[in-house]
Structure 1
Amino acid sequence: MPAGSLTTAQSYLTLKRAFSAQADAYLPFMTLFGGLGLLVSVLIVGNVVSGAVVSGHRHIGVLKSLGFTPNQVVAVYLTMVSIPAIIGCAVGTLIGNAVAGPILKVAFSGIETGSASVGISWWPSVVCLVGMPALVVMAALIPAVRAHRLSAAQAITAGSAPRTGRGLRIQRRLSGTRLPRAVSLGLGQPFARPGRSLLTMAAIVLGVTTVTLTTGLTSTMVAYGNAGKGNGSARIDVQADAPARGQNAPKLSDPQTEQRLRSLPGADQVTARALTKVRLAGYTQTVFANFYRGDTQDLASEIVKGHWPNRAGEAAAGPAFLKQHGLSVGDRVTIQLNGKQAPVTIVGELMEGNAQALDSNWQTLTQLHPTMQAAEYTARLARGADAQRYITAVKATDPALRPALRHSDDTATTTVVGFASVFTVLLTVVAALGVFNTVLLNIRERRRDLGMLKSIGMTPRQVVVMTVSSVAALGVIGGLLGIPLGIVAHRLVVDHVGVISFPESMKQVWHTPQLAALVLAGVTIAVLGALIPARSAARLTIAKVLHNE
């Protein structure tokens, strides 16, 4: 080819990335919360089977006395959870396939797919139908093995407290401290059942991780929603489209309109915008181009990388546009309009933007279409200025102008924060239920101990303090472990949202008071889960507790 014939080149990998550019924005949220959901399932199964084994000691003894082998007893408990797991997986797979269709349609919208079809593969359904029951069985196997080890005589007896000596060394050391006796007894209880305590702490860690993640996402999205809003004052959008038949023609020219908008009372900044379709050399699709003139400080504040296009031949675009077109800051493209073309350098990356639109300045537009006029003006008012008065003044200036107060559009912020908050509430409740189940099992196992303590003078209030203290320490440790996990999860999410490029200032949202409050979240989850069974244990009478003895 002659020199200069090739204007641009595009790899097929660019088109491949374009197909998944929008879908990639969903992956961080779905992957992370999906993983947390799987952990919730494991914790629920482990807690349920553990509780069934503890509460079914007599049932296990009867089965073994009738001739059931240890392996058959384990099979009973695994079958007990496998049947609802298979039913739940089948129903969940059907719901997932039904929901996946509309989500895929939205995720792959905005691009020309040609003859390619976007559908749902068969293998995820098979993996869910086979993998989830297998995960359930694995989660149930550890507590079910306990039923395997129990002898018939040991299982059928009423006394089910931990074997002598487990955790007693820790409790003796704690009794030598100045802590109240109820607190020292409670802090030593987790060491009597280390496996169960670790499971409980895992539930608390999961809850704190989710709370930390949601707190970080909320702070990031709020900062994102406030970006580009300047001092928070009102903004007026003024449309100046070409008049239709029967409408009044504009009285003022484009420069006169901008000057008039600046001179009206309350105006602080005015930006003019021309919108048109342009063609990128080497690409089949046309894209929208916004050309700005006037005050662009608020627009420049949305630049994440590089700078705002201030000179001719410069442009900025959002991450979705750059990914779909295989571009980055510093690359050059050629835009064509009105029979003319001009080379443009991408000098800035916006926080967000339409996948089919880029931004430039009036100097670049002059090279392509010198006679084009602005179609819209944005007036930012001074703080405290009357927006309605300004709108009335614009209408009086030129009846062809159509001013309207811009309402803040925080749909993305509201959606992400709302979704994360709901999921946080659900996981926090599940974590608290995990603590609830553990405390309930501990009380059931230690009924005789509670009766003996009450018989020597322990008050109901001390019983509550002892029970709550037994999980409070787990709440502190769970909080300390969950916070860094939540921070890492927050960073993974905000770094991999393909349609939004968050600046570093929006990612650094953690402060010491906030982190201290998150540690208390672990304690809160533990206390909330333990409070109800603790009060139930406090109401037990000595005669009722020692009845079977």
Structure 2
Amino acid sequence: MTAILAGVSRRRLTAVVVALVVLASGTASVLGLGLLAASDAPFDHAFAQQSGAHAVAAFDPSKVPATGLAMRGASGPFPQATVRPTIDGFRLSPMTVVGRADPLGPVDKVSVDEGRWVRGPGEIVLNREFAGPRLAGATLTVDGRPLRVVGVAYSVSRTADAWVSPQDLPHPQSLQMLYRFAQAATEDQVRAGMIAVTRGLPTGALIGSRSYLSVRLSANGAIAPIVPFLVAFAVLGVVMSVLIVVNVVSGSVVAGYFRIGMLKSLGFTPGQVVAAHVVQVLLPAALGVTLGALLGNLLSVPLLEDAAQVYGTGALTVAPWIDVVVPAGLLTLVALAALVPALRAGRLSAIEAITTGRAPRAEHGRAAQRLLGGLRLPRAVTLGLARPFARPARAATMLAAVLFGATTITFALGLGSSLYLIEDALLHDRSAPLEVAMMRGPDAVPYDGSLLKTIKDQPGTAHVVGIDRRDVTIPGLSGSLPMTVFDGDVSWTGRQLISGRWFRTPDEVVVPTGLLNSMALSVGDSTALEQDGARRTVHIVGEIFETDDAGLQVFALDPAATATRYEVALTPGTDLETYRNTLQTALQGRPIDVSLNDENGRRLFSILLGMISTLTVLLAVVAGLGVFNAVVLDTRERVHDLGVLKAIGMEPRQTIAMVIAGVAGLGLLAGLVALPAGLALHRWILPVMAAAAGTGLPPGDLDVYTWDRLTILAASGLTIAILGALIPATWAARTHPAPALRTE
């Protein structure tokens, strides 16, 4: 043990390098596995964590009293009503409000995301899906009573749009009960559970019930497009961590061959030598993995919060098993990575170990040095370019680490660019950033057509299109479908076509992929539409990129349509907030809402883009640390050679050039290989995400790699390698010849 501690003390820099790389790898592994675990059935995990309701039932309070519903193992009864709140005189969408004094309980533990729970009458907590930026801290009016928004909460069972104090619902329309059953894996089992809990109640007491399985299906469908890219980042992070640990740890043992030879010459047995060097690596690795797990958990907090927002689940945390598996796995990996070269060194004689520790075998790199020496390049550069051939195994693992880092950057840039285009296609928030809608408030007046003139006369207006929404049916498809009708050109709104063209006449329509697949139709086919008892034939001229309502929609042209809302584009240079405020002033006193187009949807895409940026930076830093640590070990291993080169006249700038050249070739090669790899990953992941959402993709959303971007991305591997090697190269340049020549 004395020899082990002495070795750690003597090789402090190596110990720091090992601890640092294991720390970075531990952090990346915790984050990667944390995302993988969070992406595995997030609804099911949140449902179990919050004791979600297998069935949500509504009962008629006139036929069964609250005391007749309360039962052990269930939550409720809670007073419930459907209301239409108003804000500043404008009526909002209908919401289901439940009177609940406590967010906890045996069933459906509601998690409070922001603010607090209601403490008494006059307060309301909004469901995360209903709350928007305009409602935070606002005062809503419900049936003439003001209710101040004090919090935002989330129910995995989707039991309400908002919660108030029970005193605020003295005359509820229904009583809500939340049940959990011992068997609830199928609809039949949930139905059997409901029959059991309602047995003996008066006829007609049960107004209706809903199974959690429908909520589960909707939730899983919503997150399906997001999971593939998070899994891709997670796998890249874990694989990169493994490569870097193996590279650095095995390199640190090889760098200690000289000391191994010295120990053997002093009488240490091969077993003692192997044990000493494995433990010398494990000690700093244990410190690094502990700190890495801690840092990974800290960094996971904002990342998993974002994932929870994207997935629409409750709070996500790093699974406890990850904090056990990552440290244990990395320490095992470190031990194995150190054991293999240590066993090889243990079989060497003392003289062979000392010789190997001084320099690599002559046959490794000599041919490359002679070949590169013939090039018309500075000698320092050719020496550096030949260095990877002296340690081919180390060079291969460093190449792989930089390759994964550069691939991540290439993939992330393409994914971010595609999501930027997809956001505008689905939200229209950049092409048509403003929406003007007729609100149905208490003082609503009939639409008189003057609204369009007011918008067009507003300075800064570039384009306006009126929109109306109607219900239609298609023979052969059950239920009604929403049909969005425009009164003019929509090509400027940002909506994208997957194939075909936009409608030009009222008998032409464009439809999403979901409707085409459901009806086994294609662009160019015709179908019948029924509206208000009248049937007409329309021609499908385009396939639109749209995911709302599972893609079961129709988009059409009707120049004579009475618009209920308008989408507005502004001229270049027009300030959005100034335009909005001016238009609101011009419309003051009228029941019209001027709002930013889909503020909530933009927030979701912002979270996704933020997650991509965070993960990309993290993995690029891990790749750079891999280069940094490998170069530190390499320069320490060659410190005697560096002393000789400095003694014969090598200048500091030449030393820096030599060290950087040693990784530049690998970085350039990694960048060139990463380019097609990243493009292929992007071309694979995006269609998988689209297919999970039940849609195709517009070709333009995939073709995001321009030639200037490709040129920059080709240098990403070189950039990672140079930045990773720059600091140790500077350290090597500052080394004085005399101390270097006396070093092992």
Cross-structure match for 1:431: 623
How has the CA–CA distance of structure 1 residues 327 and 69 changed in structure 2, closer, same or farther, with 3 Å as cutoff?
farther
Cross-structure match for 1:180: 378
The answer (yes or no) to whether the contact 2:425–2:496 under 8 Å persists in 1 is yes
How has the CA–CA distance of structure 1 residues 311 and 438 changed in structure 2, closer, same or farther, with 3 Å as cutoff?
same
Q: Per-residue deviation at 1:141?
A: 3.5
Matched, 1:203 2:401: yes
Matched, 1:54 2:254: yes
Q: Per-residue deviation at 1:93?
A: 10
How has the CA–CA distance of structure 1 residues 452 and 237 changed in structure 2, closer, same or farther, with 3 Å as cutoff?
closer
Q: In 1, Cα distance between the equivalents of 2:598 and 2:302?
A: 34
Amino acid at match of 1:404: V
Larger strand fraction of residues: 2
Cross-structure match for 2:487: 293
The answer (yes or no) to whether the contact 1:73–1:148 under 8 Å persists in 2 is no
Render the CA deviation track for 1:321-365: whole Å, top value 9, x for unaligned: 5599687655999888767788877654433442357343365x9
Q: Find the residue that maps to 2:358 and give its secondary structure.
A: coil
Matched, 1:374 2:577: no
Equivalent of 1:221, from 413, 419, 423? 419
Q: In 1, Cα distance between the equivalents of 2:273 and 2:329?
A: 21
Cross-structure match for 1:249: 445
The answer (yes or no) to whether the contact 1:58–1:155 under 8 Å persists in 2 is no
Cross-structure match for 2:175: none
Q: In 2, Cα distance between the equivalents of 1:216 and 1:343?
A: 41
Equivalent of 2:548, from 336, 354, 369? 354
The answer (yes or no) to whether the contact 1:479–1:520 under 8 Å persists in 2 is yes
Cross-structure match for 2:115: none
Cross-structure match for 1:303: 497
Q: In 1, Cα distance between the equivalents of 2:456 and 2:290?
A: 68
Higher relative contact order (CA 8 A, sep 6+): 1
Matched, 1:272 2:466: yes
Q: Per-residue deviation at 1:305?
A: 2.8
TM-score (norm 1): 0.74
Q: Per-residue deviation at 1:477?
A: 1.0
Matched, 1:504 2:707: no
Q: Per-residue deviation at 1:421?
A: 2.1
Map 1:92-103; keep pairs closer than 5 Å. none
How has the CA–CA distance of structure 1 residues 358 and 442 changed in structure 2, closer, same or farther, with 3 Å as cutoff?
same
Q: Find the residue that maps to 1:497 and give its secondary structure.
A: helix
Q: Find the residue that maps to 1:164 and give its secondary structure.
A: coil
Q: Per-residue deviation at 1:480?
A: 1.0
Q: In 2, Cα distance between the equivalents of 1:317 and 1:65?
A: 78
Map 1:467-486; keep pairs closer than 5 Å. 467-486=659-678
Q: Find the residue that maps to 2:719 and give its secondary structure.
A: helix
Q: In 2, Cα distance between the equivalents of 1:443 and 1:384?
A: 55
Q: Per-residue deviation at 1:456?
A: 1.7
How has the CA–CA distance of structure 1 residues 353 and 233 changed in structure 2, closer, same or farther, with 3 Å as cutoff?
closer
How has the CA–CA distance of structure 1 residues 85 and 49 changed in structure 2, closer, same or farther, with 3 Å as cutoff?
same
Equivalent of 1:404, from 573, 594, 614? 594
Equivalent of 1:452, from 644, 647, 653? 644
Cross-structure match for 2:608: 416
The answer (yes or no) to whether the contact 1:432–1:525 under 8 Å persists in 2 is yes
Q: Find the residue that maps to 2:395 and give its secondary structure.
A: helix
Equivalent of 1:167, from 365, 380, 383? 365
The answer (yes or no) to whether the contact 1:28–1:497 under 8 Å persists in 2 is yes
Cross-structure match for 2:230: 30
The answer (yes or no) to whether the contact 1:190–1:197 under 8 Å persists in 2 is yes
RMSD between superposed Cα atoms in Å: 5.0
Matched, 1:65 2:268: yes
Larger helix fraction of residues: 1
The answer (yes or no) to whether the contact 2:639–2:743 under 8 Å persists in 1 is no
Q: In 1, Cα distance between the equivalents of 2:395 and 2:303?
A: 38
Map 1:61-210; keep pairs closer than 5 Å. 62=263, 65-66=268-269, 68=271, 107=311, 137=332, 141-142=336-337, 144-151=339-346, 153-154=350-351, 157=354, 159-210=357-408
Q: Per-residue deviation at 1:144?
A: 3.0
Q: Per-residue deviation at 1:289?
A: 4.3
Q: Per-residue deviation at 1:513?
A: 3.0
The answer (yes or no) to whether the contact 1:317–1:353 under 8 Å persists in 2 is no
How has the CA–CA distance of structure 1 residues 269 and 433 changed in structure 2, closer, same or farther, with 3 Å as cutoff?
closer
Amino acid at match of 2:350: A
Query: Where in structure 1 are there 5+ consecutive unaligned residues?
Result: 1-13, 110-117, 367-371
Q: Per-residue deviation at 1:138?
A: 5.8
Cross-structure match for 1:114: none
Q: Find the residue that maps to 1:271 and give its secondary structure.
A: strand
Q: In 2, Cα distance between the equivalents of 1:189 and 1:284?
A: 70
Moved more, 40-49 or 193-202: 40-49
The answer (yes or no) to whether the contact 1:248–1:399 under 8 Å persists in 2 is no
User: How many residues are aligned here?
Assistant: 514
TM-score (norm 2): 0.57
How has the CA–CA distance of structure 1 residues 523 and 134 changed in structure 2, closer, same or farther, with 3 Å as cutoff?
same
Render the CA deviation track for 1:441-483: whole Å, top value 9, x for unaligned: 2212212211222222222222122111111111111111111
The answer (yes or no) to whether the contact 1:18–1:323 under 8 Å persists in 2 is no
Q: In 2, Cα distance between the equivalents of 1:457 and 1:134?
A: 47
How has the CA–CA distance of structure 1 residues 143 and 67 changed in structure 2, closer, same or farther, with 3 Å as cutoff?
closer
How has the CA–CA distance of structure 1 residues 283 and 76 changed in structure 2, closer, same or farther, with 3 Å as cutoff?
farther
Moved more, 51-60 or 478-487: 51-60
How has the CA–CA distance of structure 1 residues 279 and 234 changed in structure 2, closer, same or farther, with 3 Å as cutoff?
closer
Q: Find the residue that maps to 2:636 and give its secondary structure.
A: helix
Q: Per-residue deviation at 1:411?
A: 3.7
The answer (yes or no) to whether the contact 1:70–1:149 under 8 Å persists in 2 is no
How has the CA–CA distance of structure 1 residues 222 and 20 changed in structure 2, closer, same or farther, with 3 Å as cutoff?
closer
The answer (yes or no) to whether the contact 1:49–1:77 under 8 Å persists in 2 is no
How has the CA–CA distance of structure 1 residues 299 and 425 changed in structure 2, closer, same or farther, with 3 Å as cutoff?
closer
Q: Find the residue that maps to 2:616 and give its secondary structure.
A: helix
Equivalent of 2:683, from 491, 500, 503? 491
Q: Per-residue deviation at 1:379?
A: 4.1
Q: Per-residue deviation at 1:318?
A: 4.8
Cross-structure match for 2:126: none
The answer (yes or no) to whether the contact 2:473–2:480 under 8 Å persists in 1 is yes
The answer (yes or no) to whether the contact 1:332–1:343 under 8 Å persists in 2 is yes
Q: Per-residue deviation at 1:46?
A: 1.0
Q: In 1, Cα distance between the equivalents of 2:635 and 2:580?
A: 70
How has the CA–CA distance of structure 1 residues 285 and 433 changed in structure 2, closer, same or farther, with 3 Å as cutoff?
farther
The answer (yes or no) to whether the contact 2:640–2:743 under 8 Å persists in 1 is no
How has the CA–CA distance of structure 1 residues 53 and 78 changed in structure 2, closer, same or farther, with 3 Å as cutoff?
closer
Query: Where in structure 2 are there 5+ consecutive unaligned residues?
Result: 1-213
Map 1:3-18; keep pairs closer than 5 Å. none
Moved more, 499-508 or 27-36: 499-508
Q: In 1, Cα distance between the equivalents of 2:593 and 2:332?
A: 64
Amino acid at match of 1:456: I
The answer (yes or no) to whether the contact 1:317–1:346 under 8 Å persists in 2 is yes
Q: In 1, Cα distance between the equivalents of 2:645 and 2:299?
A: 52
Q: In 2, Cα distance between the equivalents of 1:312 and 1:285?
A: 23
The answer (yes or no) to whether the contact 2:251–2:394 under 8 Å persists in 1 is no
The answer (yes or no) to whether the contact 1:236–1:403 under 8 Å persists in 2 is no
Q: In 1, Cα distance between the equivalents of 2:431 and 2:495?
A: 16
The answer (yes or no) to whether the contact 2:503–2:542 under 8 Å persists in 1 is yes
The answer (yes or no) to whether the contact 2:417–2:704 under 8 Å persists in 1 is yes
Cross-structure match for 2:118: none
Q: In 2, Cα distance between the equivalents of 1:233 and 1:508?
A: 19
Q: In 2, Cα distance between the equivalents of 1:194 and 1:386?
A: 58
Amino acid at match of 1:546: L
The answer (yes or no) to whether the contact 2:491–2:502 under 8 Å persists in 1 is no
The answer (yes or no) to whether the contact 2:427–2:597 under 8 Å persists in 1 is no
